[in-house]
Structure 1
Amino acid sequence: MSANPQWDVRRALRVARLFQLLCGAREAAVTPFLTLYLRQLGLAAPWVGLLMGTKHLIAAFWAPFCAFLARSYRNRRALLMGSLLGSGAASLLMALVPPRDRAPGDRACNRSRGAAPAVLPPEVALTGTSAPARPASRSPARAPSLPAESSAGTGDASGFRTGPRESVREPVSHPPRHLVGSAEGARTTPEVLQPITPALKNTPWEGAFKGVSTAHPLLAGGSALGSPANLSAAKGNSGDLDFSWEGLRWTFILSLGFMVLWELLAAPLQQVADDSLFEYLDFVDATDRYRNLWFWRLLGTSAGVCGIAALVEQLDCFLMTSGPPGVVHFYGYSLVSSLALLVSIAFPVPKCRQREPSYRAVKALSLIEGDPRLILLASTVFVIGAITSTVQNFLFWHMKDHGSSELVMGFSVALGLLGEILLHPFKTTLLRKLSRAGTVGLGLGCLSGQLLYYSFLWSWWSVLPVQILSAVSNGALWWAVGASIEDLATPRTERPLRAVFEGHFYGGGASLGSFVGGFVVRHFSLAALYQASCVVLLLWLILFLSIWPRLPQERQINYSKLLTMEASDTSDSEQGMEPDWLVKAMREDLSNWKG
């Protein structure tokens, strides 16, 4: 190692920007759409919640541990490259998980190409006459056997086809979900096929151990699709149900194993890269430039989430064979990981490592324990993580039920990120006018408004207008949390304290929210989940705003006190001396902080 290493800051920043851009696109290729893919595999909401909760839990505690072990130059470089290479390969294993429905791919391709079949799939042996859609009843399990009769004829505008009159009897316990939802409706309109409408939120979800149908609700002009339950009912044999449970069990076990391996390899990347770059810039007193790199990551995420969604629309049917739609996401993730791997060869990792104190997370936790304001702030971040996980896990389910394509879903994510970028120039003004606590309250209020709005979605495009609030509910909220952490932290504990908040508390809350949210969706509905989350968040907002002003508001002013003492010792005889500039700045900042 050279005694006088050369520090090329401009080159290091160019490489870091490109790396952040690629990492943002890499995460956007899979992470927003992962729960939608798991649903297409046939997993019910509780299973998906368990998988996502496990993923968040690993990320919350495994990443800091790996960053602690990889302090040396060689270990950090090797960990960066190994994480990119290993996670890119491990993501492809998810494409090998067998879906519960053996052949969902052809139906998805037919839908995406605009060639929906005029008749229902073979597993749905029921045909009928088109009728206006009606909301399904909340108790379809009590419906008697439903005969369906029609005469040979032609298709109609809704995509159903009238065929020869036949009578097919379905078992009482497994009525098709697209048929008339009540016994009264079955008696009065025996020839009606009911596609699922936005009133799906009133339909009870299938049990966790029975899975859910991989068929999605109808788009405009689409045709109803059969579910595994319909196939089992048509066969009328209990052995088929056992086989379905066996397939569901292996689908969940393989998904869990592959996801754990994938997350163990991918989780350390971001924290190790951030630590390396910060230490590199800290050697030349250029850490102020480190603060501007978040822009490139958001830009990469926005481009990646829209780009991969557009690719899925075009290439999904050509790349998949018997698997579920969505394998393009994993291919895109691996491709971008390979590009980031090439960039990581030149990523700035300091050769002269600073001797930092060990166990920084432990020291940050001890600092939180002794400050009631940090305890309240940490609790707020935990609640934010739990509530936000419900949006990340199930919002795309809700949009899919209303006919949204993946391109619309990707655009909704990009819209929120671009709004955050556009709001950033007003960050200082916002924090000064509203104070830290006021901005946190504004962010929580906007997030609760979004949740309430999500529970009343009525169309595939209706989610787009409210996404602009993400600039406040995500961007401004975290700006206020970060500014509060800097105000309350002791010297050289700002970054460890922020890492604990974003890793342990937010990740732990997201894990708990995923576990609970899946079971709430099973027993109630997605709309009920968002309404309950809105109520919880409003109650926490009231609690936060009522407690925060009553807490002691002392701030860390040790350096200004020392400067004041030095000034008084060296210039006691001087009259009319102006107060120290740092003391002035601290007093002005304190008045702005208190609002």
Structure 2
Amino acid sequence: MVRGEQVNLKKVILFTTFFFTIYYSGKGCLLPYLTLYFRQLGLSATQTGMLFGGKALVGFWTGPAWARCARRYKKRRIILMISLFMAIAGNLGLTLIPPVDKALSLVYCPNDNHTDGVHKGGGNGHTNITHTSTNPSLVQSTPSPEKVTEPNVRLTSPTFGSFSNEATATSEHSVFANALQKSYDRYKKKQNAKGKEVSMEKFLDWLKSHDADLYSAVLAHTLPPDFGDRQKREDSASDDADTSINSGTTRWSLKGLQNQMFTLKDQFMDLEYRTFIFALSVILIGELFASPGQEICEDALYETLDSVDEVEKYGSHRSYGLFGYGFFAFITSIIVDNASCIIFPDTSRLMIYFYSFAIFFGLAFLLAFCYPIYTDSKVRNRSKYVKGLKAILSSRSNAMFVITMIFAGAFQANITNFLFWLLQDLGGSELLFGSVVFISTICEIPLLYLGIFLAKKISNIGTVALAMFFLSVRCLLYSFLQHPWAVLPIELSHAFSYGALMGAVSSLAEQIAPPGEERSVEHIFMSLYWGFGYGCGCMIGGYLYDKVGLVILFQGSAVLAFIWATIVIATAKLVPQKKKTLHYASLLQGGDEDDISDDSDEMFSDDWLVNALNEK
């Protein structure tokens, strides 16, 4: 579509709305559930955070760069096609990565015949204890009653689950040893840093205070009462005594267990490292080429509407896209929830999410051949992001919004990446995960239309503070969840914690941006949220998850969000907000609208219309 060509406005709006509905629906089928897949691969929270963080940061830089190149060299359609194809290839490439342990597909699948009960993991993702007094099949089969500290205790772990047959006994032992090895490595590192002695006795004392679940698991394997007294020795020392850890009919020697722990370290950690490297490579390469797709479509639609002076119709496609995102995320979760854990040989049911994504994006790829792309024969050299960034930096009051978007994006990363881990540990199903996505997305739609109205009623600063307050409450309530389905009412707050914040951003963009550059300012703020802030939050949140646990992570996010909301309110009156000033003399000078600037009021101090109005 070139300048001067007749535009069928209804056809353009109908087609682009359908395209974005398909595009967002494909995202909804997969993106919310990727964190579950990475957990099933056996990756830690730190590694999962690095995957999502790396993806966000790559998109933060490459998306605008690709979009600008596509516009400059008039290759938008080609780059759009490449972007959609690489999105499909990159995400399907993740399905080819072997998990650390194939049993993980059964551990996180509570409603299949392969499991005896609902998995209930802990916040650290390692070995945990589940108590039961009603179902004898849930009790570990090997220990004899008189040997077990707590009769109705069984070991469950993300790496060996709740199995009771003999075929999995060795796997349970191996992964128990791996969990113990990881804790021992952390203990050893801390002791060496302090220059203190490293011994098995002190390790158990440390384990009791730092990982009660794993310590209880050690007790469940019946360590002798005098274990600590008999096993004082340095980490490097060798003891050939046959000190036994009895577990019913199974006899484990302490030396054998320790040797196996160190033997498994090379095998298990090497496999885990390879899995992480493969996943990181696939994600970064895929995102490198897939990042500009949505931005190219948005730019093309906006410029097409601008060419016929119908810019006010821009944005109507978003509500349909969000509905498709939430609705098909829910539908796909129902299908997965009712599917068997293993749908094909060695194929987890989570693959349904990937296949659904590929179907929708494949359809979007075909539609991209006909997507309306406006081609302006006059290519402007000046980047719209430079002008938008200049408008944001023109006032110190805008710094509050910049920092807020980074903080809010970081807090949102913790929710997006690890909320489903928490619900999974509480026994939540795929149906619940889909319901969470559906409710939070649907609640966001009304704020697309009411967000700017709310910001104008209570001011931009007030809306930002309100959004951060709701985000604080939301994180705090997550930390106290005891039942998985109790999360659904909390998701209603997403309308204000995110929707209201976006309304404030849109309102601010209208106030500070040069004429015609409001969308550029809004896009920069959104990039700070979903790019820089979200990416940093993923990495920091994943690291803190492994160090302090998810409860502390959510509570810390809640405290920081509340403190920042208070700071925003306190400083609102101290730093006056600069509003955009439109100089009529600059408009009468003619020329390109890109040359219009509001940098200096003195430049147009002789504006005859402004002076006339002031004299009057």
Q: TM bucket by the smaller chain?
A: 0.7 to 0.9
1:484 corresponds to 2:508? yes
After TM superposition, list the pairs within 5 Å mapping 1:153-552 onto structure 2.
173=180, 181=216, 236=260, 238-315=262-339, 317=341, 319-353=343-377, 355-424=379-448, 426-427=450-451, 429-504=453-528, 506-552=530-576
1:94 maps to 94
Letter of the structure 1 residue corresponding to residue 308 of structure 2: V
Cα distance, 1:551 vs. partner?
1.6
1:63 maps to 63
1:6 maps to 6
Letter of the structure 2 residue corresponding to residue 434 of structure 1: I
TM-score (norm 2): 0.74
Change in Cα spacing, 1:529 to 1:118, as seen in structure 2 (3 Å) is closer
1:48 corresponds to 2:48? yes
Aligned partners of 1:277 and 1:60: how far apart in 2?
A: 21
Aligned partners of 1:128 and 1:79: how far apart in 2?
A: 52
Cα distance, 1:549 vs. partner?
1.9
Aligned partners of 1:266 and 1:560: how far apart in 2?
A: 42
Letter of the structure 2 residue corresponding to residue 385 of structure 1: G
Letter of the structure 2 residue corresponding to residue 473 of structure 1: S
Change in Cα spacing, 1:104 to 1:188, as seen in structure 2 (3 Å) is closer
Give secondary structure in 2 for the equivalent of 1:43.
coil
Change in Cα spacing, 1:366 to 1:505, as seen in structure 2 (3 Å) is farther
1:148 maps to 143
2:115 maps to 116
Change in Cα spacing, 1:544 to 1:287, as seen in structure 2 (3 Å) is same
Give secondary structure in 1 for the equivalent of 2:115.
coil
Change in Cα spacing, 1:350 to 1:316, as seen in structure 2 (3 Å) is farther
Give secondary structure in 2 for the equivalent of 1:444.
helix
> 235-244 or 343-352, which moves further after superposition?
235-244
**Runs of 4+ more than 6 Å apart:** 156-163, 168-172, 175-180, 182-190, 560-564, 567-570
Aligned partners of 2:292 and 2:347: how far apart in 1?
A: 30
1:229 maps to none
Change in Cα spacing, 1:249 to 1:351, as seen in structure 2 (3 Å) is same
2:38–2:48: 8 Å Cα contact kept in structure 1? Answer: yes
Aligned partners of 2:418 and 2:519: how far apart in 1?
A: 32
Note the alpha carbon deviations across 1:271-322, whole angstroms, 9 max, x for none: 1111111011100001111122211111111112112212222446454432
Give secondary structure in 2 for the equivalent of 1:372.
coil
Letter of the structure 2 residue corresponding to residue 485 of structure 1: A
Cα distance, 1:47 vs. partner?
0.8
> 293-302 or 58-67, which moves further after superposition?
293-302
Change in Cα spacing, 1:75 to 1:148, as seen in structure 2 (3 Å) is same
Aligned partners of 2:540 and 2:421: how far apart in 1?
A: 17
Q: CA RMSD of the aligned region, Å?
A: 3.8
Give secondary structure in 2 for the equivalent of 1:101.
coil
Aligned partners of 2:103 and 2:305: how far apart in 1?
A: 53
2:41–2:98: 8 Å Cα contact kept in structure 1? Answer: yes
Cα distance, 1:467 vs. partner?
0.6
1:53–1:512: 8 Å Cα contact kept in structure 2? Answer: yes
> 310-319 or 179-188, which moves further after superposition?
179-188
Give secondary structure in 2 for the equivalent of 1:345.
helix
1:64–1:268: 8 Å Cα contact kept in structure 2? Answer: yes
Give secondary structure in 2 for the equivalent of 1:243.
helix
**Structure 1 unaligned runs (5+)?**
121-126, 134-145, 191-231, 573-578, 580-595
2:115–2:163: 8 Å Cα contact kept in structure 1? Answer: no
Cα distance, 1:253 vs. partner?
0.7
Note the alpha carbon deviations across 1:62-81, whole angstroms, 9 max, x for none: 10000110015851111111
1:416–1:470: 8 Å Cα contact kept in structure 2? Answer: yes
Aligned partners of 2:131 and 2:565: how far apart in 1?
A: 52
1:209 maps to none
Letter of the structure 1 residue corresponding to residue 307 of structure 2: F
Change in Cα spacing, 1:323 to 1:103, as seen in structure 2 (3 Å) is farther
Change in Cα spacing, 1:452 to 1:554, as seen in structure 2 (3 Å) is same
2:443–2:492: 8 Å Cα contact kept in structure 1? Answer: yes
1:39 maps to 39
Cα distance, 1:537 vs. partner?
0.9
TM-score (norm 1): 0.76
Cα distance, 1:442 vs. partner?
0.9
Cα distance, 1:105 vs. partner?
3.4
Change in Cα spacing, 1:251 to 1:240, as seen in structure 2 (3 Å) is same
Q: Percent identity?
A: 27
Aligned partners of 2:269 and 2:219: how far apart in 1?
A: 32
Note the alpha carbon deviations across 1:224-272, whole angstroms, 9 max, x for none: xxxxxxxx95993632331111111110110011111221232111111
Cα distance, 1:330 vs. partner?
1.4
Aligned partners of 1:319 and 1:508: how far apart in 2?
A: 38
> 300-309 or 351-360, which moves further after superposition?
351-360
Letter of the structure 1 residue corresponding to residue 216 of structure 2: G
Cα distance, 1:363 vs. partner?
2.9
2:397–2:578: 8 Å Cα contact kept in structure 1? Answer: no
